[in-house]
């Protein structure tokens, strides 16, 4: 089986100029490992953003009509928040929680996955009900609630600080999302309103033991507390599973984890936490970005003396993570600079600031970058040896992943016996799912 996998990989890699990069020598910086295959195949984990239903008008139904849902194993719903009291919560609090998007907002027949309009008296509507309908249409698809993210990791450190606070925190998250006991909002919500929707919990604490967003608390003891928090989640999820009637249920537990070795060492006891995680999603992007004054790659597969996917994988393997539990993050967006000077292909050159973006300066969805690539104004540049691409028009540069790059990364996942691929975020793909299709075909089945 190993020989057949590598044979297919060799063919794919040759077309991308990555034969040398994917040879055994390329992985020499990582320890020997013996992958344990997941019988269900490679994981394909996509983040669905709560706020994407507004300006982007990206709805749960789009996952079905684009064909994306059929190519996913997991949907991570971003995000659930942690309150100042150290507990999971929801409501309608601007910038902090959006129950309207989650489970209150009614969808008409045209906007619903099942083609049936929501009624005024049903207890679950909004994104949650649409995700429930999507799961009914795609048996085997799992939905995870992702807790935190960059902006909502503020109170993780406090919630994880003591045995009592960890127990209360985890219990509150299980009550809200796994048991589905939603706050009552008019006719919506109530005990068990979202029961059965979420199949597990994804911890997106950015970052234990080191700096994240400006208001995110971090402490040296976060490292050990994170380990204890993961254990508490595993213990309570398993205990709740035993109380359920019907077929035996395993609630999955995952996390988003960093690429920087300093952040790994500051916040993660890798061998210990990996015993309790079903898998972790590796940061495979934002290696560089428009907050810097020099253009650079944001998501290269390989890079000498710099952050890269291969470096991230190697650092987690060396610290004791099993290969089959490592899922490689892949961006469905690009990082961009403007005011680039110095000529050439624009990479490694000074810039005056972030490039204008549709939703935020310095960031742009792949579907918009694809249009730029087809416009004739920008030139597509590739580093085939190191596996990354960028657009440059002489002034503005965007570093991003296109289908060709993602095929190379999928080949890498197969070659290294890794767990699969994760995507941030699904709303960045084209309406026909160009990126998810490239990865799906590249991964195939084990």
Contact 380, 389 (CB under 8 A): yes
Contact 382, 391 (CB under 8 A): no
**Helix-strand-coil percent breakdown of the chain, rounded to 5?**
35, 20, 45
User: Parallel, antiparallel, or unpaired: how do β-strands 74-82 and 142-148 relate?
Assistant: parallel
Whether 370 sits among the annotated catalytic residues: the reply is no
* C-alpha span between 380 and 373 (Å, rounded): 6
Neighbouring residues of 26: CB distance < 8 A, sequence distance ≥ 6: 20, 302, 310
Three-state DSSP state, 397: strand
Q: Which of 35, 8, 156 is nearest to 87 (CA)?
A: 156
What does the CA dihedral 371, 375, 381, 386 come to, rounded to 10 degrees? 10
- Which of 206, 232, 364, 370 is catalytic? The answer is 206
* C-alpha span between 249 and 247 (Å, rounded): 6
* C-alpha span between 102 and 104 (Å, rounded): 6
What does the CA dihedral 393, 311, 227, 273 come to, rounded to 10 degrees? 120
**C-alpha R_g of the chain:** 21
Neighbouring residues of 50: CB distance < 8 A, sequence distance ≥ 6: 77, 78, 79, 98, 101, 102, 127
> Does an H or E element contain 311, and which?
helix 309-318
Q: If you write DSSP's letter for every residue of 80-120 in order, what string do you get?
A: EEE-TTSSEE-SEETTTEEHIIIIIS---GGGSTTS-PPPT
Helices (H), 174-290: 222-243, 261-267, 270-276
Hey, which residues are catalytic here? 206
């Amino acid at each position: 089986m190993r020989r057949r996998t590598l044979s297919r990989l060799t063919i794919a890699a040759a077309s991308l100029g990555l034969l040398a990069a994917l040879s055994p020598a390329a992985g020499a910086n990582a320890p020997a490992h013996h992958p344990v295959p997941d019988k269900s195949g490679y994981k394909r984990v996509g983040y669905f953003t709560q706020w994407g239903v507004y300006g982007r008008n990206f709805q749960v139904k789009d996952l079905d009509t684009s064909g994306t849902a059929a190519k996913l194993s997991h949907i991570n719903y971003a995000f659930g928040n942690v309150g100042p009291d150290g507990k999971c919560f929801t409501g309608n609090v601007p910038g902090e929680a959006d129950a309207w998007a989650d489970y209150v907002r009614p969808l008409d027949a045209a906007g619903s996955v099942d083609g049936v309009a929501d009624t005024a008296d049903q207890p679950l509507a909004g994104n949650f009900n649409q995700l429930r309908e999507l799961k009914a249409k795609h048996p085997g698809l799992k939905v995870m609630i992702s807790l935190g993210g960059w902006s909502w990791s503020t109170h993780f450190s406090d919630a994880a600080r003591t045995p009592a606070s960890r127990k209360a925190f985890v219990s509150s998250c299980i009550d809200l999302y796994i048991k589905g006991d939603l706050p009552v909002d008019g006719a919506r919500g109530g005990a068990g309103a979202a029961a059965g929707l979420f199949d597990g919990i994804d911890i997106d604490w950015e970052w234990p033991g080191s700096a994240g967003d400006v208001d995110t608390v971090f402490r040296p003891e976060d490292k050990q507390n994170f380990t204890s928090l993961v254990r508490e989640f595993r213990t309570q999820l398993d205990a709740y599973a035993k109380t359920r009637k019907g077929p035996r249920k395993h609630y999955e537990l995952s996390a988003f984890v960093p690429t920087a070795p300093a952040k790994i060492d500051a916040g993660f006891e890798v061998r210990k936490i990996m015993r309790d995680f079903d898998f972790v999603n590796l940061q495979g992007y934002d290696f560089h970005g428009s907050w810097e004054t020099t253009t650079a790659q944001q998501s290269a597969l390989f890079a000498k003396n710099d952050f890269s996917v291969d470096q991230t994988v190697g650092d987690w393997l060396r610290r004791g993570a099993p290969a089959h539990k490592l899922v490689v993050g892949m961006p469905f967006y690009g990082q961009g600079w403007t005011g680039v000077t110095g000529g050439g292909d624009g990479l490694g050159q000074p810039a005056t600031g972030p490039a204008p973006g549709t939703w935020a300066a310095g960031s742009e969805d792949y579907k918009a970058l694809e249009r730029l690539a087809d416009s004739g104004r920008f030139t597509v540049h590739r580093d085939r040896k190191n596996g990354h691409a960028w657009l440059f028009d002489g002034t503005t540069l965007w570093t991003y992943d296109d289908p060709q790059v993602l095929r190379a990364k999928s080949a890498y996942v197969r070659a290294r016996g890794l767990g699969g691929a994760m995507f941030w975020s699904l709303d960045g793909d084209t309406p026909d799912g160009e990126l998810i299709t490239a990865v799906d075909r590249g991964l195939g089945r084990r």
